[in-house]
Structure 1
Amino acid sequence: MLFIRLISRFPFWLLYGISDFLFVLSYYVIRYRRKLVQKNLRNAFPEKSSDELAKIEKEFFRNLCDYAVETLKILTINKEELSRRVIFTNPGLVLRYLEAGQSVIHLASHQFNWELLLAKGSYVWGHQMDFVYQPVNNKFFNDLTLKIRTRFGGYAVRRDEVARETIRRKQLTRGICIVADQYPGLGKDKRYAATFMNQETVFFYGSNQIATMMQMPVFFQIIKKVKRGHYEVTALELAQPPYAKESEIVIERYIKAVETAIHEDPAGWLWSHNRWKKRHIKHT
């Protein structure tokens, strides 16, 4: 961890030099998950030409390498520099609920760089932010992720404890942030199946359950890359209570919002994730 923190202290210009090296290594030499990325892109964008898909693929790998060094930088970056690099364009849309004592749900997607969004989101509204996370088996990477996500005061909540924690902390006005577009696995949690990016896809259902159970307004936080190392985050209000008990409005609108964000910036989404494991859809 000490070595990682040392790298994190490098200035951005040096970190991006490392990113450029990682791009050459991952794209040309190791060819990291390139077949998976190409398959995902072909299935998601059947209307695009081979040249268009190749351009998106290459830009994606550049973004992925930038993501790696930017995320490490969170370990040592100060609030002033983070605030300069990540601009929230309409924080008042969320703040009006928090100032009225109403907790909210923030949904995000794996659009680069979501870790910078979570880092600044820890303090931008001046209220507690809970982050739902899925533990990984590798202790080093699990601990590193928690250090990054709690650096500015975020409160980490395990995915399998989110319902219990939400009820336990219901008197605390806060935001609950969930990056909810990853593959949900084969656990006992309820999942939701939908057509997403031209493919049958399963999603976590937990965000919809929490919103309807606790009657919380829900926002989708859209992050867009302005230039290298600089991002803008815009809140989109997806839904607000009251919700019917069986309402699925949150998950339905979330899926559409993520799809729109991907179409606006195809190279900005995490295509190297093995998102479409169709053999598991039957378990939904």
Structure 2
Amino acid sequence: MVISILFKILRNLPLNFIYIISNFVYFLIFKVFKYRLDLVKKNITLTNLNLNSSQSHKTIRKFYQYFTDLYLESIKMDSFSKSDFEKRFTVINVEIVNKFFNEGKSVVLMLSHYGGYEWCTCLPYFIKHNLLAVYTPIKNKYINEFIKKSRSRHGLDLISRYDALKQIYKIEKKNKIPYLYGLVADQSPKISSNNYWSKFFGVKVPVFTGSERIAKKYNLPVVYGKMKKIKRGYYSVEFQLITDNPKKFKDFEITEKYLRLVENQLHEDPHPYLWTHNRFKHASKAPKD
């Protein structure tokens, strides 16, 4: 209840005031509480980004400011209008996905926890497809419910990743309305005997392969959404076609292409990434080559 009231207050504040609050929250979580700071340092050190001490410190400092901005923005976006998004969010190469809509094809959109990924909730304002976003439910039911309502407010449909394959099967079986299936695929899956392992920033880790499996099962085009932070409160996504014929690819080849695209982004600018996620926690359990 308290969380719900707090979110309602925040969503109605002017964006400039949101950033004043963000500056204060940044100070608290970075300077005072050092929220997951050891993990952030460990993650950056483990990668092959090869940052020196000064570069690493700058990246970490900029990350925490980006981190607090993004999540407060995601609350504020609940009150945004279409014109607000059109002012602050740019979609590059939208014709790539709209072409597939005109052909009656659904599309698999692969995203990462980079840049303004939370801003992709506004994509229905820019594309012709219906948008179905796959997400991982949060344990706190109040926060989870707020996120579902907030992210759905601008026209997308949310589906738990635990039900995604079943729901997509139902949609593709009817095959009447083309969908854009948005999947953020750079997190760490649970360990199982069926895991696919790959090098991610030089570290061998298990990776999600659901996007590729969906694309191959229904022969759907695969597009990468290259997110970019332009400046505070302004973001873009650039659609890049990975393939329009996934069945011609070997197993896991699409997943590998996706991982390399994510890596390339972080080599360009490493700070706007979700470094607080324990991405490399299973590295010690990697099977030997």
Please give the secondary structure, in 1, of the residue aligned with 2:146: helix
8 Å Cα contact 1:239-1:249 kept in structure 2: no
Of 8, 31, 55, 1:5 maps to 8
TM-score (norm 1): 0.94
When structure 1 is superposed on structure 2, of 21-30 and 3-12 the one drifting more is 3-12
8 Å Cα contact 1:83-1:120 kept in structure 2: no
8 Å Cα contact 1:33-1:272 kept in structure 2: yes
Are 1:99 and 2:102 counterparts?
yes
> Shift of residue 165 of structure 1?
1.0
Q: Distance in 2 between matches of 1:18 and 1:46?
A: 31
The amino acid of 1:75's aligned partner reads: D
When structure 1 is superposed on structure 2, of 42-51 and 132-141 the one drifting more is 42-51
Q: Distance in 1 between matches of 2:228 and 2:275?
A: 16
Deviations 1:77-105 (A, max 9, x none): 11110111001021011110111101001
Q: Distance in 1 between matches of 2:84 and 2:29?
A: 29
Instruction: Give the direction of change, closer, same or farther, for the CA distance of 1:186–1:134 in structure 2 (3 Å limit).
Output: farther
> Shift of residue 240 of structure 1?
1.7
8 Å Cα contact 2:82-2:125 kept in structure 1: no
Aligned residue for 1:182? 187
Are 1:143 and 2:111 counterparts?
no
Q: How do 1:25-174 and structure 2 match up within 5 A?
A: 25-45=28-48, 47-116=50-119, 118-170=120-172, 171=175, 172-174=177-179
Are 1:213 and 2:185 counterparts?
no
Instruction: Give the direction of change, closer, same or farther, for the CA distance of 1:17–1:249 in structure 2 (3 Å limit).
Output: same
Aligned residue for 2:230? 226
> Shift of residue 186 of structure 1?
3.7
When structure 1 is superposed on structure 2, of 38-47 and 51-60 the one drifting more is 38-47
Of 250, 254, 260, 1:250 maps to 254
The amino acid of 1:215's aligned partner reads: N
Q: Distance in 2 between matches of 1:241 and 1:46?
A: 32
Are 1:266 and 2:267 counterparts?
no
Deviations 1:24-76 (A, max 9, x none): 11111001111111111111146321111011010101100111111111211
Of 234, 241, 255, 1:237 maps to 241
Q: Distance in 1 between matches of 2:144 and 2:112?
A: 19
TM-score (norm 2): 0.92
User: Number of aligned pairs?
Assistant: 280
8 Å Cα contact 1:213-1:245 kept in structure 2: no
Cα RMSD between the aligned structures?
1.6
Q: Distance in 1 between matches of 2:152 and 2:280?
A: 30
> Shift of residue 244 of structure 1?
4.4
Runs of 5+ consecutive residues of structure 1 not aligned to the other structure = none
8 Å Cα contact 2:49-2:267 kept in structure 1: no
Please give the secondary structure, in 1, of the residue aligned with 2:240: strand
The amino acid of 2:112's aligned partner reads: S
Aligned residue for 1:197? 201
8 Å Cα contact 2:222-2:246 kept in structure 1: no
> Shift of residue 123 of structure 1?
2.9
| Percent of pairs with identical residues | 28
